[in-house]
Chains A and B, each alone.
Chain A
Amino acid sequence: MAKEFLSGDEAFAYGVRLARPQVVSAYPITPQTIVVEKLSEFVEDGSLKSEFIHVESEHSALSCAMGASSVGARAFTATSSQGLLYMAECLPYAAGGRFPIVMMNANRSTALPWNIYGDQRDSLSQLDSGWIQAYAQTAQEALDLALMSFYIAEDKDVSTPFMANLDGFVLTHTYEVVDVPTAEQADAFLPKFETENKMSLDKPKNLAFSAGPDTNTFFKFKEHCGILNAKEVIPKAEKRFSEIFGRKYTGLTESYKTDEADYIIITLGSIAGLVREVVDKLRDRGEKVGLLRIRYMRPFPNEEISATVKKAKAAAVLEKDISFGNEGAVYTNVNSALKKADLTLPTSNYIAGLGGRNISAEEIEGIFAELKEGKTTVKFIGIGGEQSGDQR
């Protein structure tokens, strides 16, 4: 392993190179562009043997990756924001076709108002498209996810495309020290992609077919089972990963000081790093607070969330998302998990960081303070002016 000083985008590209995709379909968009630029450099300098295909749009990028996957090739693409939305038509095609493509999404705001900065409304709007969705906190986790994503997606019981999400700029464009594994280690971890779900002259079969009302539900059920099977494969991948690389991951969620915590913030992505620092500060003052970081939004960690917060007095979901006319999508999902476990603790939703707005340590302390007051709220942080931001 070698220590490198990399941005999140670069770290992910290094991870993709180690996974040796046979096809990379590329279309640039800020803040993802560095990923495909870096991969094109790797192809140019010969360190990645891959068919690097410049396509004319994101819709084509994912269509191209599907074509590659349908002949049994390991395929990678990357996008962000409007690009993800432009390829939205293809997302359920890839999932329903059971093509285990890996895609990195640089989380970025969606227009209008037009904005290039980070929030998670792009990927969270696609929760129902049938893709596995993971959210990285650091550049190291981004690199490691790049490798693990292929392992998980390509498992024959899963066979589901994988979207790895990195917060735009604060993760994609921030440099930090990253351990880059050797090619030998990566090859020991990641088996060659083998699938029966491919076009073959030796074993001709119908792929990407129609299914009418009589069989459609069956196929959608199988698709659902495939993504649920990832719940078994993710820990398996992480165990194998830690044996080879020495770094440990904790499955669908990561808990920090949640044992005996009265008040817990549930969040996802890179902001968890700051919440962790606030938890440490408040713990030093004797306050019983904790952090639960959601690493996977699909499959959703229902059991992990309810088990972690069941003894807490209150929990807040902090997310860079709003499902207009209702509340944050993560909050809806978390509340469903709690309801299914018969938990009745009060929960609040804090909508923050939209369009790249900074979330400060003071604001996170404020969330813990409001939880202690017993308030439950759906609140926008940082809208300014006379409005309180309380919207329920």
Chain B
Amino acid sequence: MTEILWHGRGGQGAFTAARLLGDAYSHKNGAYSLSFPSFGPERRGAPIRAFTKLADTPIGNRSEIKKADYSIYLDDTLLDTAAFDELKNGGRLLVNTSKKYDDPRIVAVDAGRIAREVLGLPITNTILLGIFAAVSGEVSLDDVAYAIKRNMPKKLHDKNIAALSAAFREVGA
């Protein structure tokens, strides 16, 4: 099972990304996923977490993920050294940031810049989803585009698929 932990602030679309990933993965035969947010009151700007589990058998464990294969930060102000405690051995952090990190466990991408260029808005959830797809190989660009078309309003399809492609280019995939 591949476990993905999403960190963001209310309104940044972390749970939407978690859900898109689940759908992108499990629409194929013999693939299963669970996607859910940290449950509770929702407030714009407050830190939230979301979870995606991907597997080739039905997933019985509905608990929150304690140790992730990938921990994804839509907002680098949420990132601190405790982030590594939530990673499995060999796990990676994917971070939206303009900073540089000298740590092989961190994939740092200025998703905010890409979002402003491609979407004209500082919304980075589908870009980080694209980074995840490119880095992990768990889902293809086509899989994610399929999920975007199924789950987002039509007027957002083209821009978000363009954002995905830009994310793939950014990490050289």
**CB-contacts of A248-263 with B (<8 A):** none
| Proximity bits, A272-292, B CB within 8 Å = 1, else 0 | 111111000000000000000
A174: chain B residues at CB < 8 Å are: 34-36, 62
**CB-contacts of A169-192 with B (<8 A):** 169-171, 173-177
Is B36 in contact with A177, judged by CB distance below 8 angstroms? no
A358: chain B residues at CB < 8 Å are: 63-64
Closest to B150 in A: A5
Q: How far is the CA of A173 from the CA of B42 in the complex (A)?
A: 14
Is A175 in contact with B34, judged by CB distance below 8 angstroms? yes
Q: How large is the interface on A (under 10, 10 to 19, 20 to 34, 35 or more residues)?
A: 20 to 34
B60: chain A residues at CB < 8 Å are: 272-277
Task: Name the residue among B23, B26, B61 with the largest chain A CB count within 10 angstroms.
Answer: B61
Whether, in the assembled complex, A270 has its beta carbon less than 8 Å from a beta carbon of chain B, the answer is: yes
Interface of B, secondary structure class, is: mixed
Is B19 in contact with A5, judged by CB distance below 8 angstroms? yes
A270: chain B residues at CB < 8 Å are: 62
Q: How far is the CB of B146 from chain A (nearest CB, A)?
A: 11
Q: How far is the CA of A117 from the CA of B31 in the complex (A)?
A: 29
Q: How far is the CB of B129 from chain A (nearest CB, A)?
A: 14
Closest to A31 in B: B39
Q: How far is the CB of B109 from chain A (nearest CB, A)?
A: 26
| Proximity bits, B141-155, A CB within 8 Å = 1, else 0 | 000000100110000
Q: How far is the CA of A270 from the CA of B36 in the complex (A)?
A: 14
| Proximity bits, B14-29, A CB within 8 Å = 1, else 0 | 0000010011001100
Q: How far is the CA of A73 from the CA of B150 in the complex (A)?
A: 34
Whether, in the assembled complex, A344 has its beta carbon less than 8 Å from a beta carbon of chain B, the answer is: no
Whether, in the assembled complex, B32 has its beta carbon less than 8 Å from a beta carbon of chain A, the answer is: yes
Whether, in the assembled complex, B156 has its beta carbon less than 8 Å from a beta carbon of chain A, the answer is: no
Whether, in the assembled complex, A356 has its beta carbon less than 8 Å from a beta carbon of chain B, the answer is: yes
13 contacts between A and B (CB under 8 A): A5-B23, A31-B39, A116-B40, A117-B39, A170-B62, A173-B37, A175-B34, A175-B36, A176-B26, A176-B34, A276-B60, A277-B60, A361-B61
